[in-house]
Amino acid sequence: MNKVKAYGATSATTPLHPLQIERREPGPYDVSIEIAYCGICHSDIHTARGEWGPTQYPCVPGHEIVGRVIQLGKRVKKFKNGDEVGVGCFVDSCGKCFQCKNHEEQFCQNHTVYTYNSMELNNTTPTYGGYSTHIVVHEDYVLKLKKGLPLAQIAPLLCAGITTYSPLKRYKVKKGTKVGVIGLGGLGHMAVKIAKAMGAHVTVFSTSPEKKEDALRLGAKTFIVSTSNDLNDYEAQLDLILDTVSAKHDFAPYLNTLKMDGTLVLVGISPEPNEVSAMSLVFGRKKITGSLIGGIKETQEMLNFCARKKVFSDIELIQAAEINQSYERTIKGQVKFRFVIDAKTFT
């Protein structure tokens, strides 16, 4: 076991603070990674604060991890020392069930080991995330990065990127598809960039009028302030909507913007349940569905797509000591558009 520096919460109501955690010695198939950067996802905040149900403390969040390989287990085949790599929202799974075999490890029927607030397959060792200097991960759950990419701007792809790429791909977004994105935060800004790169015509719905200029710069064609009447006037325009909102809100005005048979995909996970009226679905035969990150194979595909299309995240690079204030700004929707922690600053 190696002690490493980290940042974490010891209860739902205490700010995150420096901690020491233990990382295992690499087993035969493990890769030891020196973390360079880790993004701050709103899921980190929901979890650190116990908003989605009980959290196991101490909680070291972080699942948008990039870094360099510094040590290899003796059977590792896919990586070598010095490789630039990524780790996303899960670090292991049973590997044997239908979903694992089908490259959907996030839906493992036995045990998806999430990067933090989870238990390793042995059911006794808690997992700690990327707000730390090092992590040890089985090679099958480590992503390859092309050399020379802007690492800090790649980090958010490991969650925000795959979470938006996966449903855009599944619903066959292509040139001319009309895509709506609700909420212009970490996930939302990646949804805009990726949908644009797939050829879509993108409309952003935001509660923040001041984000208009950025939305257009990121690739949106239309920007609608969701608290204005413009939303009600925007009827039957869209094929697909990605809803990235992190809090309870009314779906009806957004369903109204879908064409007949259109689909609203929930990726935002409000801690409180949302209400939906049957009326807003039956007229126009609309669908509401959800989507959870993506499997390793699809995450690798997304990373390759983003490298090819030069799609990276717009980030604000911070020091570890700024994590708590960054949480507050994220909650207020004031980040452009992802905070990323410089792992050299863990003390």
Q: Closest CB to ligand NAP among 128 and 254?
A: 254
36 binds, among ligand NAP, Zn ion, none (CB under 5 to 8 A by kind): none
Question: Which of 72, 91, 100, 343 is the binder for Zn ion (CB under 5 A)?
Answer: 100
Question: Which of 23, 46, 196, 286 is the binder for ligand NAP (CB under 6 A)?
Answer: 46
Rule CB under 6 A: say whether 246 interacts with ligand NAP.
yes
**DSSP conformation letters of 45-62:** HHHHTTTTS---SSB---
Q: Write the interaction track for ligand NAP spanning residues 139-178; mark x where CB under 6 A is met and - where it is not.
A: --------------------x---x---------------
Q: From residue 116, how far is each of 49, 89, 179, 211, 303 by CA, in Å?
A: 14, 8, 32, 32, 22
Tokens matching residue 135: 């992590």
How far the first Cα of the chain sits from its last, in Å, is 19
Backbone φ, ψ for residue 39 (5° rounding): -75, 160
Q: Are the C-beta atoms of residues 89 and 156 closer than 8 Å to each other?
A: no
153 binds, among Zn ion, ligand NAP, none (CB under 5 to 8 A by kind): none
Q: How many residues bind ligand NAP (CB under 6 A)?
A: 30
Question: Which of 12, 70, 97, 247 is the binder for Zn ion (CB under 5 A)?
Answer: 97
108 binds, among Zn ion, ligand NAP, none (CB under 5 to 8 A by kind): Zn ion
Tokens matching residue 138: 């089985």
Q: Closest CB to ligand NAP among 41 and 194?
A: 41
Rule CB under 6 A: say whether 93 interacts with ligand NAP.
no
Provide the 8-state DSSP code for 66: E
Q: Are the C-beta atoms of residues 312 and 66 closer than 8 Å to each other?
A: no
Q: Which helix (H) or strand (E) holds 101?
A: helix 98-101
Q: Write the interaction track for ligand NAP spanning residues 262-301; mark x where CB under 6 A is met and - where it is not.
A: -----xxx---------------------xxx--------
Q: Closest CB to ligand NAP among 92 and 214?
A: 214
Q: With contacts defined by CB under 6 A, name the span among 13-21, 172-180, 243-251, 320-328 that binds ligand NAP.
A: 243-251
Please report, as a single letter, which amino acid is at residue 115: T
CA distance 310 to 303: 10
Q: Are the C-beta atoms of residues 164 and 187 closer than 8 Å to each other?
A: yes
Give the sign of the dihedral formed by CA 313, CA 316, CA 322, CA 325. Answer: negative
Question: Which of 19, 33, 42, 91 is the binder for ligand NAP (CB under 6 A)?
Answer: 42
Q: How far is the CB of 311 from Zn ion (least distance, A)?
A: 17
Residue of closest CB approach to Zn ion: 41
Q: From residue 42, how far is each of 13, 89, 175, 242, 271 by CA, in Å?
A: 16, 13, 30, 16, 11
| Site of interaction with ligand NAP (CB under 6 A) | 41-43, 46, 159, 163, 183-188, 206-208, 211, 244-247, 249, 267-269, 291-293, 330, 333, 335
| Site of interaction with Zn ion (CB under 5 A) | 41, 43, 93-94, 97, 100, 108, 110, 159
